[in-house]
A = this chain, B = another copy of it.
């Protein structure tokens, strides 16, 4: 009966907001579209009017992040190898986690196997594949396992700090700053 009712703002964005919230809190599979719809006060069918599948909701959340990662890989590929490039890459990596990137990263941490199967809609690699690519560009073939893991960890410092910050009363800025500090400690030649 009451079909076609106009909602307040941007339904599509609202769906994304609620979805990312629930996917992160309770996990992708553990969150049903019914729950998302209910929390929004719309029907499941309305969800499908805006997104053609559950997976597509996730993609819409993640696409920007995937694109940014691609950009970072492309950038890295064109730099001369060396500590300078590494330091800059670490900073850029942390920048990816700023703003809306942060919720995408939290989602990724909480739903790793979903991310592993989530190729972007241009059919390119998933986020883990892109990270591995970045690692390979930045870490020379002669590096020891420990050195490798140190650099990789530096590049993943936002992820780690995000995990460490659970239940801690810290602003996004503080988290980012800590991640930066930690990352640079890890790649500081004096600590090797």
Q: Residues of A with Cβ closer than 8 Å to B?
A: 25-27, 29-30, 109-114, 128, 132, 145-146, 148-150, 152-153, 156-157, 159-161, 163-168, 170, 174-175, 177-179, 181-182, 185-186, 188, 191
User: DSSP class of A's interface residues: helix, strand, loop or mixed?
Assistant: helix
**Contact indicator A178/B29 (Cβ below 8 Å):** no
Oligomeric state, in number of copies? Answer: 4
Q: If the complex has contacts A168-B148, A182-B150, are A110 and B113 also in contact, measured as CB distance less than 8 A?
A: yes
**Contact indicator B26/A113 (Cβ below 8 Å):** yes
Closest to A131 in B: B166
Report A170 CB to chain B, min CB distance, Å.
5
Report A27 CB to chain B, min CB distance, Å.
4
Report A107 CB to chain B, min CB distance, Å.
11
The 5 tightest CB contacts between A and B, nearest first, are A29-B29, A152-B164, A149-B178, A27-B113, A160-B160
Q: Which residues of B contact A175 (CB under 8 A)?
A: 149
**Contact indicator B113/A25 (Cβ below 8 Å):** yes
